[in-house]
Amino acid sequence: SGAPGSGKGTQSERIVEKYGINHISTGDVLRAEIKNGTELGKTAKGYIDQGQLIPDELMVDILASVFDSFKDSKGVIFDGFPRTIPQAEALKVMLKERGQDISVMLDLDVPEEELMTRLIKRGKESGRADDNEETIKKRLVVYNTQTSPLKEYYKGEGKYQ
């Protein structure tokens, strides 16, 4: 877990390389859907452009499909999911149905000023529509109100680090 711009993708890549496990980036999955012009992509784009979270049932269905493609994997990193306690509970159910469970939740803690700097720079370099100052501020508010409580949820599960 970590706020937008905290380095989740970068750190996930390092873990994937070191341990040979798979990586599911919800952002990458959604951007691919948008690029391919799928119905899901069109729906998701509306939420993303407004700095909103994708509805839980939509995300769990997408992730279940991607997760199922990694059946022989040593493990999977979920990057950018769950973002809310209801998503964490839905993910737990989805994994349990497959005889799996979350091993650990890692939290990347980066000061908000640094997050803004990173995301504005990334927006200029990549042209990502969701990396402009107004949308970044909305995303950080959403993170602080909806995603940050996951720390306590996973502490209660004994899986927070």
Are 80 and 26 within 8 A, CB to CB? yes
| Known catalytic residue at 96 | no
Choice among 31, 92, 128, 159 that is catalytic: 128
Active site annotation includes 122: yes
The torsion angles phi and psi of 2, rounded to 5 degrees, stand at: 165, 155
**Is 98 part of the annotated catalytic residue set?**
no
Asked whether the CA dihedral 14, 20, 21, 23 is positive or negative, the reply is positive
Catalytic annotation on 8?
yes
Beta bridge partners of 108: 2
Active-site residue, selected from the candidate residues 122, 137, 138, 151: 122
Q: Taking each helix axis from N to C terminus, what angle separates 26-35 and 39-49, rounded to the nearest 10 degrees? A: 120
Catalytic residue flag (residue 139):
yes
Residues 35, 45, 98, 139: which is the catalytic one?
A: 139
Which residues participate in catalysis according to the annotation? 8, 83, 122, 128, 139
